[in-house]
Structure 1
Amino acid sequence: MNKHYILNLNPQADSDWDRCTLRNPITGERPDLTTEIAKFVGDRPGSYLIKVKLEVEVLEQNLTNSHNTVELPTGKKSTVITKYHHFSA
């Protein structure tokens, strides 16, 4: 079973738990890997000695979070449009 996550490494984060995070790319939620593993044993009660193989393939790398903000007038209100640049390795 393949699962896709966004890995964010931020050594300057204020909190330890925000320095290395995994997130679902669609919902933004942090995955509960324990629940994912429990699905493989069918959620049957008991203790299990398990072997977990972890294979990681980098599909895209965003080197910077640079973005440009442009303000466009639309009558009485103004609209802000943010353009993100993604750099792939």
Structure 2
Amino acid sequence: MLKVNEYFDDKAKSIAFQSDALPATIGVISPGEYQFSTQQKETMTIVSGVMSVCLPGLETWMTYGAGECFGVAPDSTFRVTVEYDTAYLCTYG
């Protein structure tokens, strides 16, 4: 079953689903800077656009484009910045 998630006054939206291997979401983030929290391990793959990310415990921002991915540890927070609508696929676990 699909579940729609909306965050930050509808500036980030995703659809949750069960992939063939792991639970996942696919979504789009509008321009801005945001802070996300994790409950479990996440692997985020950029589908379209560019996302700058500041991972937990780091001061340095890394930039990821289409086809690139990064991981986030469980029970942590991370910051992202996008300059234009950016699509992503996130798997959990």
What TM-score do you get using the length of structure 1 for normalisation?
0.22
Q: Specify which structure has the higher proportion of helix.
A: 1
What TM-score do you get using the length of structure 2 for normalisation?
0.21
Question: Which has more radius of gyration?
Answer: 1
Q: Specify which structure has the higher proportion of strand.
A: 2
